[in-house]
Amino acid sequence: MVTVDEFSRLVSGIYAAAVTPQHWEAAIREISRVLDGTGAALFIPDGASWYNSTLPVESSQTYRTYYHRF
């Protein structure tokens, strides 16, 4: 269960990342930690870039190959 303080911190991190893209890595890492995730990443639709905090590099290519068409 996510506490109110954790939720507030996650939302603040996402808002900060929305206006300052360098903050995405920290925001994604924190989301993964709070939700007990085993991996987390933000893929950009242009296919040229992605923000990653916990996934192996190979995951990017596998993800793009399968989900790009969607």
pLDDT surpassing 70 at residue 17: yes
Q: Which residue, among 54, 1, 45, 2, has the nearest Cα to 24 in the 3D structure?
A: 54
Confidence at residue 13, expressed as pLDDT on a 0 to 100 scale? 95
Give the distance from CA 56 to its chain's centroid: 13
Q: Which residue, among 24, 23, 52, 21, has the nearest Cα to 39 in the 3D structure?
A: 52
* Domains held by the chain: number: 1
Q: What percent of the chain has pLDDT over 90?
A: 31
Q: 58 lies in which domain range?
A: 4-67
Q: Which residue, among 38, 44, 13, has the nearest Cα to 26 in the 3D structure?
A: 13
Residue 21 sits at φ, ψ, to 5 deg, of -55, -25
